[in-house]
Amino acid sequence: MIKIKNVNKYFGDLQVLKDINIQIEDGEVFGLVGSSGVGKSTLLNCLIGLEKYQEGSICIDGVEVEKLSEKELRNFRRGVGMIFQNFSLVGRKTVYQNIALPMECWHVPKEEIRERVIELARLVGIEDKLSERPSALSGGQKQRVAIARALTMNPRYILCDECTSALDPKTTTSILRLLERIRREMGITIIVVTHEMAVVQQICRRMAILEKGRVSMIGDTQDMFLQRPPALIKLLGEENDIEEQEETADRARITFNAPAEGNGQKILWELGQKLQRQYLLEDMQSFDFPDGRCLEITISIDREDRETCRQCLSEYGIKYRSISEE
């Protein structure tokens, strides 16, 4: 378990982390989310002792990171794997040598290294690439090598710093599925630092939103996307999505869990029956989360029908969110 309590971090006179309080449970995938420059990577570096914080505490499995000696910190980092945006592979070494590198640094016997490299290469799906150099690999293959390397010392934690930002959407999905499989089979806790909402939705069960060095919101990922708190609306850029509206019209976003196929169409049909008039369906999107799927529907209705629409949706436990009121 990771417990971050009242952590403050300064670079000179500049405070980059402000009273951070987060608890991350064993075996979960937790997202640290925010725009560039809000302190996500700095917090990640504090977790493994690459950066020192001036106030507060970070305890990992009961160990206070800041109090560790250099030797103790080196042993501590053995239980933490890192995956980076730019892969951080050694270009002059083969895939085999890149995966083996952490074990060589810890003087693991060569036969054990060979067995472990082959095992991990098979796990991440690159067993046919072991003799290749990184320059011959695609972005997704490079990240699979980086994941295998991060797993060599049997870590309890994997820290992912924008690890999918350099990948296309299809490759990103395959990497996230691999990470989820690793979490499930190995019981590893994964912390994902990202500004990509699709990544958070697909893999993170809980998330914290950082703004200007502070945690502005923390909670269940799916609940956040259903409830759309102001911090998430700002991060999604939807605060700038409010267009000029006619005085007689109101646009609304409706977000809800969709456990059954056709659930969205049923609700829209019921809404039309209650309003007894036509409304405009502008958009419908579905989002997959680790624990299920939700639908987001954007509609345009007459403003005089707003309360009827609210009441109809409330019967399904769904909140009506007027875009003009966000």
Question: What averages of pLDDT result for each successive group of 10 residues across the chain (326 residues)?
Answer: 95 93 96 89 91 94 90 91 90 96 95 96 96 95 96 95 88 92 93 90 93 93 85 74 50 69 63 67 72 75 79 78 64
Separation CA 164–CA 172 (nearest Å): 6
Strand partners, 118: none
247 in the same domain as 134: no
State the pLDDT at residue 97: 97
State the pLDDT at residue 32: 95
- Of the candidates 90, 68, 92, which has an alpha carbon nearest to the alpha carbon of residue 80? 68
Q: Which of 215, 234, 253 marks a domain boundary?
A: 234
CA distances for 95 relative to 142, 145, 154, angstroms: 9, 7, 19
State the pLDDT at residue 259: 56
286 in the same domain as 227: no
117 in the same domain as 62: yes
3-class DSSP state for residue 217? strand
78 in the same domain as 44: yes
- Of the candidates 280, 325, 272, 317, which has an alpha carbon nearest to the alpha carbon of residue 301? 280
Cβ atoms 241, 321 nearer than 8 A: no
Q: What is the CATH number of the domain that holds 181?
A: 3.40.50.300
What is the identity of the amino acid at 35?
S
State the pLDDT at residue 287: 73
Separation CA 138–CA 180 (nearest Å): 21
State the pLDDT at residue 246: 43
Helix count and strand count (H, E) for the chain: 11, 14
State the pLDDT at residue 310: 80
3-class DSSP state for residue 152? coil
Provide the domain count of the chain.
Answer: 2
Q: What is the CATH number of the domain that holds 314?
A: 3.30.70.260
87 in the same domain as 22: yes
193 in the same domain as 50: yes
pTM over 0.85: no
Q: Which of 218, 234, 250 marks a domain boundary?
A: 234
Q: Pairing between strand 249-257 and 63-64? A: unpaired
261 in the same domain as 134: no
252 in the same domain as 115: no
255 in the same domain as 143: no
Domain hosting 7: range is 2-234
Q: Which of 183, 202, 234 marks a domain boundary?
A: 234
32 in the same domain as 94: yes
3-state SS, one letter per residue, for 49-87: CCCCCCEEEEEECCEEHHHCCHHHHHHHHCCEEEEECCC
State the pLDDT at residue 279: 65
